[in-house]
Amino acid sequence: MHAKRKERFDTKKGILRKTAVGLLLLLLAAALLACGMGYTPPPREAAQTAQPADAPHTPEPAAAPAHVHDYDPATGLCRGCGESCPHEAHDPDTACCLRCGLQRWHAFGADGLCACGREAPLTDTVLPDPYFEPAEHEGRCFQETLTDAAGREHTIAVWLPWDYSEETRYNVVLLIHGDGGSCDDWTDKEEGTSRGPIQVYRVYDRIAEEHLCAPFLVVGLNNRGMGDDPAFGEMLIEDVVLPHLARSYSTWMEGDDHEQLEAAREHIAIGGLSRGSVFTYYIAMQRCLDVSANFCCFSNSYPGGVIRALNAEEALSLDIRCYVAEIGLRDVEEYNQDNRALYSAICSQVERIRDGENARFLEIDEGHNFLMWTAAVYNALLLMF
């Protein structure tokens, strides 16, 4: 029994020894492989498709040389595949696209800073002389008479940039005049009027020439009738003027249905000077939020129900893209106090309107006049579009 048991034990010991040696060898092989010293077989693919190096073959799609777009600087389209350049970045001085070279524009936004690093050249004083002189390329000003559903006629004054093209989509800026004015206060005007030699459209011409904001067109509205009935102003803007512009010009509105106007609201702005500013608060910001996301108010305020309207249940989903309020420091002090109070009340009580983000309050060293309003509309255009 003892001898047998010892023998079995010895046999066990032998097996253990052999297993240990085998394990050691395996570990060694693994270590060699890990060190890269093991034999590496040729890639299976190469072995299977063994063929002379110069034989024709079908490369994998990923191996094909990538198509490099060759953009035409006149159109921004690739000469090879016809695709449009995404215009991701532009030069801070010229606003030309860094990839295709096409002329683009700055987009400062309400915070006043373009993605190219350039800051909006806002003004707090009268614009320099060139803004009052004919630009090298002058836009077109003209009037149109529109008829509403009740058969009443409404005149509007239009400014189109000199290079207006159906290939470009234009932001729409509706501007309302003050007491005693008319729709062409915001475009061109015969000399010898209260405005003197100032032609406001020259400011738009310069902005377009200097590529200081995205392409836009301006429409001056008549304010008569708006004070008697805010529903009249709403009808004029939403049922007459915007549908007409949608049908007649290349804007962001795809058609003249109310839904199509709403879809373009980020590209529509409403503003005004003096009484026109009152109507912007009283009518546009209270009743036209569905079709406009940008507002600019110069020289006068009107608290009315504007905060209540902006905070109403049905208005909460309507973002405010940009709200600009501007005053002339040499204007009536009472007006300026009211403007400051209304602006800060709106920014503190309407959660989605934030000073310095999508809202700006600017002060210009001028009075209640067109030297102030030319500077104000210049600032507002740069910040809104």
String of contacts with Zn ion for each residue 110-149, x by CB under 5 A: ----x-x-x-------------------------------
> What's the rounded Cα separation, in Å, for the pair 372 and 351?
30
Q: Output 36 or 65, the one with its CB closest to Zn ion.
A: 65
Of 18-26, 79-87, 142-150, 374-382: span binding Zn ion (CB under 5 A) = 79-87
Interface with Zn ion, residue 78, by CB under 5 A: yes
The reply to whether 100 sits near Zn ion by the rule CB under 5 A is yes
329 binds Zn ion per the rule CB under 5 A = no
Give the range of 39-47, 81-89, 282-290, 373-381 binding Zn ion by CB under 5 A.
Answer: 81-89
CB of 364 to Zn ion, least distance (A): 24
Using CB under 5 A, which of 14, 22, 80, 356 touches Zn ion? 80
Query: For 353, phi and psi rounded to 5 degrees?
Result: -115, 115
In the chain, which ranges are continuous DSSP H helix? 2-34, 44-48, 201-209, 230-235, 242-248, 258-263, 275-279, 285-287, 306-310, 333-349, 370-384
Q: What is the distance between the alpha carbons of residues 155 and 60, in angstroms, rounded to a whole number?
A: 65
Centroid of chain to Cα 53: 54
Instruction: Please report how close the Cβ of residue 76 comes to Zn ion at its closest, in angstroms.
Output: 5
85 binds Zn ion (CB under 5 A): yes
Note whether 87 binds Zn ion by CB under 5 A.
Answer: yes
Counting contacts by CB under 5 A, is residue 318 touching Zn ion? no
* Burial classification of residue 75, based on how many CB atoms lie within 10 Å of its CB (0-12 exposed, 13-18 middle, 19 or more buried): middle
Report the relative pairing of strands 294-298 and 153-160 from DSSP bridges: unpaired
Residues forming a β-bridge with 322: 294
Q: H or E segment at 142?
A: strand 140-147
Output the smallest distance, CB 384 to Zn ion, in A: 15
Q: Residues in the site for Zn ion, rule: CB under 5 A?
A: 69, 76, 78, 80-81, 85, 87, 97, 99-100, 106, 114, 116, 118
